[in-house]
Amino acid sequence: MLRKVTEATAIAILATLAVAGPVVDAHKGKTVLSRPNIQPFPHNSGRAKPHSPPRTKACPVTALGGGKDDAPHLLSAFHKCNNGGTVVLDEDYTIATALDLTFLNSVDVALSGSITFKPDIDYWTANAFQYDFQISRAFWKIGGKDVNFFGGGVGVINGSGQPWWDAFAANSSLLRPISLVLDGLHGGSISGIHMVSPPNWFNLIANSSDVIVSDMVLTAKSSSANPVKNSDGWDTYRSDHIVIQNSNIDNTDDCVSFKPNSTNIVVQGLSCNGSHGISVGSLGQYLGQYDIVENVYVYNNTMSNASDAARIKVWPGIQSVFQPTLSGGGGSGYVKNVTYEKFESINNDWAIEVNQCYGQSNQTLCDLYPSNMTISDIYFIDMWGTTSKKYDPKVGTLVCSSPQQCYDIYAKNISVTSPTGKSEWVCSNFDTSGLEGFDCVPS
């Protein structure tokens, strides 16, 4: 909700903060945002949303302008408004240096302006925050407890991805930052923000719990001949009780991906276009590590013009080189109790893909070294729509390493057709008796 606040009324409104909880901007006549009451709906992750008390102080930040670095002033405002305040970002800000905001406690961020990351590739290559998992990088990271970051449908986070995509076309080993990383956030929400042009993934939710993401718009479009690369909408990693809902995503990679140790996750009400699906994985990438994805509910989503709609991908039992910055295999663990329900497929190459040989094109090697990841208790319910002509008449592929590593897979009320009106499914190396109405053909 947008609200006009003047200095004459600020004191009176501040007095009501403990009850009503609006955001107040000390700038005369500025339009400011009130924290929305974001609730998981219709499904939650298995436990109630944590209580977030009203904030009692406001810290507006004046942008320097001209592309100058606002990171130091932003950091100062977060320290000032920590423990019960709202950082008000109603101007256009530039972040040109790495920003660590993992110390937050009971803080709101009201973004009615924009945040743009300066595309200084040399600086970020040397100074971005580093994560061992898939050698990820980050411009900034937000963590702590009870943090609400909201944009009211007008706030923008711009990753300035175009120079990065152009540079990546010439150097496929370039390590590009993620636009927003939640790292160690316990209790909080992200909502109402338009994110554009991420150099790499849009979002990573890592080492976090009890987070709701809602009413987001994610857009990745290249203005040159060089394509957008790896623009995952959200990746969850070592995180529990996460809800992602009611958002529109136009990208070129996974719409949502559940990375290792993602548990009790709900994804609902998304409209995804041009992606690689709502995906479990990839998993089993690192030898000696045990990956878990368990209790995931993907409900009432639409996938258009993508490689896949519903997707589960795990590495084989042998090291494999997939891309210059992506290789792996041989890790172990399991995927269990994952449900895709009410899923519309529009012109996707596969409506469903289960792949226990991710990253390895040599099927003989996959047969010799089956995946160490077990896939079980998987449900595909009420899926409809169309596939592209790419694999016509086939509409899905479920290829496992062995029946011992892949079992209890069920499908019901699936009415997806290819352009010729046929619906063949590639099925192998598991008991297919739970796939109601599937016309299975060997791989």
Catalytic residue numbers, as ranges:
253, 276
The answer to whether the beta carbons of residues 411 and 442 sit under 8 Å apart is no
Find tokens 């993620």 and name the residue. 178
The H or E element spanning position 279 is: strand 278-283
DSSP annotation of 16 reads H
Tokens encoding 41: 């709906």
In order of 266, 394, 399, 424, the CA distances from 442 in angstroms are 33, 11, 9, 10
Integer Cα distance of 324 and 345 in angstroms: 31
Integer Cα distance of 441 and 1 in angstroms: 53
DSSP annotation of 435 reads B
In order of 35, 78, 122, 155, 329, the CA distances from 127 in angstroms are 33, 21, 9, 26, 29
The answer to whether the beta carbons of residues 410 and 440 sit under 8 Å apart is no
Find tokens 């993508």 and name the residue. 306
Identify each DSSP E strand in 34-179 by its residue range. 57-60, 85-89, 92-95, 99-111, 114-117, 129-131, 136-138, 140-158, 177-178
Which among 201, 163, 194 is positioned nearest to 179, based on CA atoms?
A: 201
First to last CA, the chain: 53
